[in-house]
Each structure stands twice: as C-alpha cells, then as structure tokens.
Structure 1
Amino acid sequence: MSTSAGAAAPSATLPRVTGLWLTLFALAWFGYWMLVMLPGQFLIVKLASVLDPNDKVGIGSLLIILMAMVLVVAVPVVGWLCDRTRTRFGRRRLWALGGLITATVPFAFVGYQQSWQGAAVLLTLVGLGEAAVLVSLSAVIADRVPEDQRGRASAAMGLPQVFSLAIGMVIVTELVPEVGPSWLVIAVIAALCPVPFLITYRERPPSGDEPRPSPWRWHPTALRGYRDLGWAGLSRVLVNVGNLVGTTYLLFFLSDELRMPDPDGALMILILVYLAGCAVATWAGGLLTDRWRRRRALVAVCAGLQVVAALLLALLPTWEATLVAGVLLGVGYGAFLSVDQALLTDVLPDPETRARDLGIVNSAQHLPIAPLVGWAVLSVAGYTELYLVAAAIMAVGGIVVFRVKGVR
C-alpha cells in the first residue's frame, strides 16, 4: 500500500488512494469516534448516577459541557501547532499518535473515579487528546486524497461515527455493563484501532529550507480566500445545530407529546432506524459527490431531507410519522457527513494551515448551541415550535451553502 505524498501537494497531482488505505483510515476514525460518542451518549450519565444519584443530572451535564468546551478551545490551537510542526516522523502522524495516547490513557481510568472532580480532570486530558486526533486526521484528507476521492474519504471519516455508537452501546450495555471496566474496554479498543493506519501512513519529510507557516495569515489578501470556508463552515454549524435540536429531545417528545407507553423502547427503535439510514447514506453520499462533483447541491438536498423530517415531527405528531422522520433524519444527516466534509476540504484556502482552518470549523461545530435553543424554545412553547425552529435553522444552513463559489 502506497501512502507517501507531499503534505501540501496540489490535489490534482496526488496519487489515488487504495481501498485498503480507506479501510485503515476508517478504522482509525472508528477508534476516535468511540472516545467521542459514547461518553456524551451514555458513559458519563451512567458514571454520574454512580458518583451521586441525587445530583446525577447536574454532574452529568457539567462533565459533558466540560468535554465540549475543552474541544472548542483546544481544536484551533492544536491545529495551529500541528501545521507548524516539522519532524521526520511527520506532523499529522505525530499529533495523531500523541493525541491517541493523551486521550486513551486517562479515558481508561475515568470509570474508576470516586469523585466528579477526579473524573473532570481526566476528561479534560481526554478532550485535549481528542482535539489532537481530530485536527490531524481531518487534515490528512486534504493532504493526501485527490479531489475525485474526497467524498469516499469523507465517508470513511463519517461512517465509523454511526457504527461506533451502535457497537459501543452494545459493548457498554450488554457485554461490559460495569462502569469501571466499560471505560477501560472502550479505551483499549480506541487505542488499537488507529494503529494500523498510523504505522503505514507516510508524509513527505520536510526539506531543510522549508519555512514554517506564519502564525498569522489573516492579512486582507489572505482573508479573501477564507470567504468560501466561512460560508461552508456556517452551513455546517447550522445543519448540525438543527439536527441536534431535532434528535436531542426525541425521548421527551415521545413521552410528553406522543404519550408512548414505553418511550425508552420507542426511542431505541428510532435510534436503530436513524442509524441504519445514516450508515447507508454516508457511503452513498460519498460515492455520489465524487461521481457528480456537485457538493453544494447535495449539501442542500441533505439539509432539505432533515427539514422535511423536522416538519413531520412538528405538524404530524404521530408514531408512524415519527418513524418516517427518523429515516429522513438518518439519510439526510448520513449523506451530509460525507458530502459536507468533502466540500470543506475542497475550499481550504491555504495548504500550510489546513489543520488550523479545519480546527476552527470543527470547534464551532462543538459549541453547545442546540441545548440553548432547546431550552429557550421549550421554556415558552412546545414541541411543535421546537421542531419548526429546527427546520428553519437547517433550511438556512442548506441555503447559505450556495454562497460558496469555489466549488459546484
């Protein structure tokens, strides 16, 4: 498998990546998403219920917000440092490996903590490591993958997110339900998955006279090159916020609005439907955007499918309509994962600041906007208004992508 390429080579001159390369790249992302998805979805809440059953909501919320804010602050900083790194081992590989160690070692011990303060310290370290892995592996697509394969590479980045949540939930709820061992097992899996890719991936060694990128490249002429990235980033943030508003409160919607006799069971069915649609659409979206090379229109279609899903929840609150909405949300968001990442990679304006620029977009994506929107709407209105707001946010996200002029 050939994995050598210049880190800043023009995409037109990059050799095509192989199926094995994409497989190992996807495996690396699977390990990363295990660390990211499971704590927020299940592990932290379960840990909080053990640490203090009387204040489990407060402790769980605090730890989740802490991890999110660490990522928001650390990702652009680590991205800037990654871009400026010059070693024979490579800059992306070095930061990915360092981040992997920094994240997985403390992650393994979180479940054994006896106080929320101890868990908070370890989760802060986990967040720093996750930031390093995120910025370095994200930049690999721009560094190594030619434009006509970036949809596939983006699918290899997004599809493991779906599988990591599904497989991880089976592990921590059925196979290893104990709190301490569940964190340890996930840490071991996450540490092992990226190893094959990191061993085989090669970057161009820096030449002796290669300058480091300037720490600030924001002069007026450079800023003009960031116009497309800004609009693409805004589109990503809006679609993600709308999707999170639509999915975060589904359990409350099922119990309070639909009056389901078993809301937990109904939610599990919805999650499976959502993940199935997401898994199929992520890979299909990557193939289609590579074949058609129309990133903007596909992003708009992905947003539109999710808008229709939110409108169904708002205007037709029945179980049957909710199932259809789950399919549309999964298909729309799954395809969005691959198409949007490919679009963002195409509009990166400076090959020497790819990790930093992607880091800024990714950190904005992690801002806790959706919970604030949900709290604000549900404080004064109901679920109809909540899903109408979610639809409006995603519709704007689908529209502003056409402000991007550098790609079709």
Structure 2
Amino acid sequence: MTPRDDQQHRVPVRTGVALALGVLLWLGPYLGLVGVLVPQQVARIDPANKTGDIALMSTVAMIVSTIANIVEGGLSDRTRSRWGRRTPWIVAGSVGTFVCVLFWGQCSAVWQVVLSDSVYMIFLNMIVAPLIAVIADRTAPKYRGTISSVYALGNSAGQYGGQMLASFFLPMPKIGFVVLAVMSLLSGPVAALILREGSTKNMPVSPVTWKTFSDNFVFPTHHVRDYYLALFGKLSIQTASFAISGYQLYILTDYVMLKGNALQTYVSAISMIMMVTAIVMCIGAGPVSDKLHIRKVPVIIAGLLIAVGSFLPALTNRPFIMLAYAVVVGIGMGMFNSVDQALNIEVLPDQRTAAKDLGILNIANNGGQVLGPIFSAAIIKIVGYSGVFPLAAVLAAVGVCLIFFIRKVK
C-alpha cells in the first residue's frame, strides 16, 4: 500500500535510484532508435518515402502501445508472486526488447521495420507502466515531487543522451543497434535488483468480475475530470516536443542543410545541450515543488517555454537556431518532466489501479512520440519543414491551457 506522509520519514532514495536507472536504460535506447538510427535505416531503404514510412511506423506503434499500456498495466496491478507485482513484468519486458532490437537492426524492408517497432512496443510497455507505478507504490505524497525529479533525471539523460549516443553510431549503425539492445536488456534487472520488491503472494486480489475487469482493464470513468485534463495536456506537450525531435535528423539534413561531420556534430550538440539543461532543471524543480506544495504552476511554465523554444527555428534555418531551440526546450522539458509525474499521481482516480491508470497517462508519452512525427509528416507535405515549428508551438500552448483547468492540484 502507498505509505502516508506520517509513515515515511525520509526520502525513499533506493526507489529514486531504481527509477532513474530503469528509465535511463529503456528510454535512451528507444529514442536513440526512433530518433536517429531508424530514420537513417528507413532513409537508406526507401529514401523517396522516408517521412511517410516513419509516420506509418509511428501510427502502428501508437495503436499497439495504447493497448499494451492498458492491458499490461492492469495485469501488473493484479500480479501476485514471490518477486512482487512489478518485477516479473519489467524483467520480461527487458528480455523481449533486447531480442526485438537485435532483429530491428537486420531489417532490409519497410514492413520489417514497422513489424519490429510494433512487437518492440509490446515488450517496452511491460517495463514502462509497472515501473512508473512504483512511484505510487512506494512514495508518500510529500516526497513525490522529489522522486519525480529523480525519475526525470533518468528520463532526461535517456531522452537526450540516447540520441547523442546513437549519433556516434551513424557511420556504423549495426553496432549501434547491438549497443542499444544491451542497454534495454539491463533496464528491468537493474531496477529490480535495486528495488528488491517484496512478495505479493499474500496480497488480496479481487476475483475477476465485470466490475474488476472494468476497473483494471478499461479507461477510468469516475472522478476523472482532472485525470483526463492531465492526460490530454501531457499528450499535447509531448506531441509538440516529438513533432520536432522525431524528425530531427531530417530537419538537420533537409531544412538546415547539414551533412557529413557537421550533421553528426549538430545531432550530438543538440542532444548534449538538451540533456544538460534538462538535468539542471530536474535537480531543483521537484524539491521546490514539494516545498511550496505546488504542481500546476511549474508544469504550465514549462509548457510555455516548450512553446516558445519550438517556434524559434521557424524564424531562420541557420544552424545556430537549433542550438537556441535546444536550450529553451531543454529547460522546459526538464521542468516539465520533474513535476509532471507528481501531478499525474495526485489526479489518479484510484490508487488500487495505479499501474493501469498511470499506464494510460503514459500513453501521452508514447502517443506524443507517435503523433508528433505523424503531424509533422502531414505538415511537411503541405508547407515543408518550416511548418513543423509553429505546429509544435501551438500544440504546447494547447497543453498548457488544458493543465490550467485542473482543479484538484495547486
């Protein structure tokens, strides 16, 4: 059961470390793949239709991910084993992602790339939904901002460090796929070893009835106003972020007109800037949020920064503007990631179905990673790459408006 404030007297450091390392080791490989190595792979296989191919891959992945998040999160909530509720899932998911990425690296046709990504998403969500639920399982409300910040440190290092790492393998992509596969393999076991989750064999579990099925495997329907505002606000902001980062390689080659060593340098520089700025914000934003007892205000400020930073490359296609974009959006994403998870937990309709409901909220992350490239592909066809940046700015602004109307959280 989730500890109360009076039951947890110190910050649960072990939980924070496990979460940070776990998310780093699954998110880094994922974004290194879909942001760098897979776009390069697709451009080599089918250069004439590369943007449409990425959009197709993203669409199929979104459908698979949505179903997997709900089902696997719900099953995790109901799992009873000597290793706990979350451990069996995150370990099995790590092994599955390892195998999928190895196969992915050998693909020579677009349909194989799409299939690899789809199966990969099934196993990836075995890690994602149960791991996020650990925050609700083991953290008292007064420490959730701090633990969300620690989680966000791993998230930021994975989000931007993964792309930076992958950029080093652009000249030798097959080795890159192997390295990222091994990182994915470590995610669940490393987190599980640090967490040392207790047995849940004696934890009560309700029998399967239509009501329990509805509670555990269906979108929540009671006391959900703020929950869905958080969900769609998060989805809009994440979609804004990935509308640009999902096509970062193509933006740099086809809009900024970089190639060769300059391309690799800018991919690395953008990722490094965003990682450092995000990490700096993660260190402070969560603890300050705990101290001031506020969640909404930092998330709203973060969304506004993301909107402003996303618009900057619309002003010029000179390379330096992508570095300015990286600074502003990196600060915004660092602040957003460090407080958003705490806000999400506080709008949950039922703590007993935390993994399932947080898994649905995580659809906003995966959905953003999927919808961003889809929206970008459409706008690129209509007006070119210059249209991506106003699109991302508007999406971030919509997310800010939705989060503003949340009532339950300050």
TM normalised by structure 1 equals 0.83
Q: Secondary structure at the match of 2:213?
A: coil
- Alpha-carbon contact 1:16-1:146 (below 8 Å) kept: no
SS at match of 1:374: helix
Task: State which of 375, 379, 388 in structure 2 corresponds to 1:373.
Answer: 375
Structure 1 position 145 matched with structure 2 position 139: yes
Q: CA deviation at 1:372?
A: 3.8
Contact 2:94 2:124 in 1 (8 A): yes
Q: Over aligned residue pairs, what C-alpha RMSD do you find? A: 3.4
Q: Distance in 2 between matches of 1:351 and 1:286?
A: 21
C-alpha separation in 2, matches of 1:56 and 1:149:
45
**2:18·2:194 contact (CA, 8 Å) conserved in 1?**
no
Q: Distance in 1 between matches of 2:17 and 2:179?
A: 22
Residue type at the aligned position of 2:86: R
Q: What secondary structure is seen at the aligned counterpart in 2 of 1:366?
A: helix
Q: Does 1:197 align with 2:182?
A: no
Distance 1:247 1:167 in 2: 13
Whole-angstrom distance in 2 between the partners of 1:385 and 1:273 = 24
CA distance in 2, matches of 1:231, 1:200: 34
- CA distance in structure 1 between the partners assigned to 2:22 and 2:34 by the alignment: 20
Shift of 1:287: 2.4
- The amino acid across from 1:394 in the alignment is A
Q: Which residue of 1 aligns with 2:336?
A: 336
Give how far 1:161 is off. Answer: 3.3
Maintained 8 Å contact 2:60/2:114: yes
**1:404 and 2:406 are equivalent in the alignment:** yes
**What is the CA–CA distance in structure 2 between the aligned matches of 1:322 and 1:151, rounded to whole Å?**
31
SS in 2 for 1:87: coil
Q: d(CA) in 1 for partners of 2:279 and 2:140?
A: 24
* Cα distance in structure 1, aligned partners of 2:71 and 2:378: 31
| Alignment partners' CA distance in 2, 1:113 and 1:373 | 25
Deviation at 1:135, TM superposition (A): 0.5
Deviations 1:145-180 (A, max 9, x none): 112222232233332233235554565454795444
Alpha-carbon distance in structure 2 between the residues aligned to 1:121 and 1:77: 20
CA distance 1:199–1:300, shift in 2 (3 Å)? same
Distance 1:174 1:160, change over 3 A: same
Q: How big is the shift at 1:208?
A: 6.3
Q: For the residues of structure 2 that align with 1:278 and 1:331, how far apart are their CA atoms? A: 5
Please state how far the C-alpha of 1:131 moved relative to its aligned partner. Answer: 0.8
Q: How much does 1:75 deviate?
A: 1.0
CA pair 371-29 structure 1, distance change in 2 beyond 3 A: closer
Q: Distance in 1 between matches of 2:48 and 2:388?
A: 29
Q: Which residue of 1 aligns with 2:294?
A: 294
Alpha carbons 1:85, 1:91 under 8 Å: kept: yes
Do the aligned residues in 1 keep the contact of 2:348 with 2:357 (CA within 8 Å)?
A: yes
Aligned partners of 2:156 and 2:279 also within 8 Å: yes
* Inter-CA distance 230–186: structure 2 relative to 1 (3 Å threshold): same
1:225 maps to which of 223, 226, 230: 223
- Aligned partner letter, 1:184: V
**Corresponding residue to 1:43 among 29, 37, 54:** 37
What is the alpha-carbon distance in structure 2 between the residues aligned to residue 66 and residue 315 of structure 1?
A: 33
Q: Which amino acid aligns with 2:230?
A: A
Q: Give the stretch that moved more between structures: 116-125 or 233-242.
A: 116-125
* Residue 185 in structure 1 maps to residue 179 in structure 2: yes
Q: Are 1:295 and 1:343, in contact at CA under 8 Å, matched by a contact in 2?
A: yes
| CA 1:198–1:62: 2 relative to 1, 3 Å | same
1:168-203 superposed Cα distances (whole Å, 9 cap, x missing partner):
456545479544433222222222244243124224
Q: Is the 8 A contact 1:16 1:145 kept in 2?
A: no
The answer (yes or no) to whether the contact 2:52–2:377 under 8 Å persists in 1 is: no
Within the alignment, does 1:271 sit opposite 2:278 as a pair? no
- What's the offset of the Cα at 1:315? 5.1
2:78 equivalent in structure 1: 84
For 1:185, the aligned partner's letter is: V
Residues 1:234 and 2:229 are matched in the alignment: no
Cα offsets for 1:103-142 (capped at 9, x unmatched): 2233234323555555554443321110110010011101
In the alignment of these two chains, the number of paired residues is 399
Hey, what does 2:285 align to over in structure 1?
285
| Counterpart among 236, 242, 245 of residue 244 in structure 1 | 242
* Structure 2: stretches of 5+ with no match in the other structure: none
Structure 2 CA distance for aligned equivalents of residues 364 and 372 of structure 1: 14
Looking at structure 2, the residues matched to 59 and 384 of structure 1 have their Cα atoms a distance apart, in angstroms, of 20
User: For 1:386 and 1:239, how far apart are their aligned partners in 2?
Assistant: 14
TM-score by length of 2: 0.83
2:22 is aligned with 1:28: yes
2:130 corresponds to 1:136: yes
Q: Deviation of residue 31 (structure 1)?
A: 1.3
C-alpha distance in structure 1 between counterparts of 2:17 and 2:202, whole Å: 30
| Alignment check: 8 A CA contact 1:15 1:146 kept | no
| CA–CA separation in structure 2 for the residues paired with 1:245 and 1:404 | 25
Query: Would you say the 8 A contact 2:160–2:271 is kept in 1?
Result: no
Partner of 1:19: 13
Distance 1:209 1:388, change over 3 A: closer
How far off is 1:380 after superposition?
Answer: 4.2
SS in 1 for 2:86: helix
CA contact (8 A) 1:37 1:161 kept: no
Aligned equivalent of 1:3: none
SS at match of 1:215: helix
Change (3 A) 1:251 1:339: same
3-state SS in 2 of match to 1:91: coil
Which residue in 1 is equivalent to 2:206?
Answer: 211
**C-alpha separation between the residues in 2 aligned to 1:293 and 1:381?**
44
- What percentage of residue pairs aligned between the two structures are identical? 24
> Residues 252 and 86 from structure 1, CA distance in 2 versus in 1: closer, same or farther, beyond 3 angstroms?
closer
